[in-house]
Amino acid sequence: MEFSAVEIASVLEGKVEGDPNVRVNTLSKIEEGKVGSISFLSNLKYEPYLYSTEASIVIVSKDFVPEKEVNSTLIWVEDAYKAFTKLLHYANHLKNKKVGIESNSQIHESANLGENIYIGSFVYVGENAQIGKDVMIHSNAHIGENVKIGEGTVIHSGVRIYSESQIGENCIIHSNTVVGADGFGFTPKADGTLEKVPQIGNVIIEDNVEIGSSCTIDRATLGSTIIRAGVKLDNQIQIAHNVEIGENTVIASQTGIAGSTKIGKNCMIGGQVGIVGHLKIGDFVQIQAQSGVNNNVPDQSKIYGSPSMDATDFRKSYVYFRNFPSIVKRLEELEKDIKQQTIKD
């Protein structure tokens, strides 16, 4: 797929200096630029490459002043880094965009399908499902009964979305994630066996959420498990029943959140964090990797450890813990000196 400088400038709201008709078909680092590629300059450490690169087009910020003649066609924009990121999104969207319904998919006659959608091979779409326009559902995905999927959302191969789940607009759900399976709820009986508690709620995922591969998001016992707008989840994360995650919160891989815990907005949670159930985690909280959280956490806290504590206190305590053998040795020497002094007295 090729684009001219003037077409790219239109997408980026930039201004062309040089040949407006020069065409490119790939993106590159400025130091690796070749004819037919487009690159960018934002970090001035790489400025020397601007004068030697073979890239056909280079994106530069409008406040940049070249020290030498530049052979490449330039596109001047407000911010070169942000513009190139926008171009990456644009190119990726065009590259991956598909439209049409594969013949070996299975779609219930009552399902409501929007315009310009793609449904891949061996996809199942259940009764009364609602699929918004520009949605892409890749091969072997399962879309259950009464599921709603908003405009522009991408469902990758092997995803399972159980009945009644609601997915917002412009979401991305990566391969083998399961949305809406039963929450983990059992009641002990007198004979020691466990009776399953029916899980009759659902999962609501709001707009602009991205969920990594092999995550599990359980349906609520009653009500909804809710993932608010802008949340980003890494791979292999467990979200239990009735959990709520606030907008723009980011969670790294292998974290597990137990039932009914509420996490605030704009939090950052590291990998392999464990959070027990029925807690309230405030807004703008940072939880470092492998922490175990078993108490409520106030807004803007930074916590670490298992059980978790204030991150600064943890680091101070760890210094003592690391030196613990030498501290014990000193105590033993002091006790020995005291005993010897007692005998002399």
**Which of 138, 142, 174, 241 does the annotation list as catalytic?**
241
Distance from chain centroid for Cα 183: 22
Distance (Å, whole) CA 321 – CA 327 = 9
Are 128 and 143 in contact, with CB atoms under 8 Å apart?
no
Q: How many CA atoms lie within 13 A of 96 on its CB side?
A: 17
If you ran DSSP here, which 8-state letter would residue 56 be given?
Answer: S
Distance (Å, whole) CA 100 – CA 26 = 26
3-state secondary structure 295-319: CCECCCCEEECCCCEEHHHHHHHHH
Distance (Å, whole) CA 108 – CA 314 = 55
Rg over CA atoms, the chain: 28
Q: What is the pLDDT of residue 330?
A: 85
Measured from the Cβ of residue 292, the count of other Cβ atoms closer than 10 Å reads: 15
Fold of 3-96: 3.40.1390
Summarised one tens digit per residue, pLDDT across range 47-86 is 999 999 999 999 999 999 999 999 999 999 999 999 999 9
pLDDT-derived band at 306 (thresholds 50, 70, 90) equals: confident
Summarised one tens digit per residue, pLDDT across range 128-155 is 999 999 999 999 999 999 999 999 999 9
Q: Catalytic site residue 241?
A: yes
Q: What is the residue extent of each domain of the chain? A: 3-96, 103-312, 314-344
Are 275 and 254 in contact, with CB atoms under 8 Å apart?
no
* pTM of this structure: 0.81
Q: If you write DSSP's letter for every residue of 140-154 in order, what string do you get?
A: T-EE-TT-EE-TT-E
Summarised one tens digit per residue, pLDDT across range 86-114 is 999 888 888 888 899 999 999 999 999 99
Q: What is the pLDDT of residue 329?
A: 84
Are 309 and 325 in contact, with CB atoms under 8 Å apart?
no
Q: What is the pLDDT of residue 345?
A: 62
Distance (Å, whole) CA 324 – CA 345 = 31
Fold of 103-312: UDP N-Acetylglucosamine Acyltransferase; domain 1 (2.160.10)
Residue ranges of alpha helices (H) inside the chain are 5-12, 47-50, 80-96, 311-322, 324-344
Summarised one tens digit per residue, pLDDT across range 250-295 is 999 999 999 999 999 999 999 999 999 999 999 999 999 999 999 9
Mean pLDDT to the nearest integer, 14-43: 95
* Percentages of the chain per state (helix, strand, coil), in multiples of 5: 20, 30, 50
Summarised one tens digit per residue, pLDDT across range 215-251 is 999 999 999 999 999 999 999 999 999 999 999 999 9
Classify the C-alpha dihedral 313-281-237-90 as positive or negative.
Answer: negative
Instruction: Name the average pLDDT for the chain.
Output: 94
Alpha-carbon dihedral 265, 268, 272, 278, rounded to 10 degrees: -30
Summarised one tens digit per residue, pLDDT across range 307-316 is 776 878 877 7
Measured from the Cβ of residue 101, the count of other Cβ atoms closer than 10 Å reads: 15
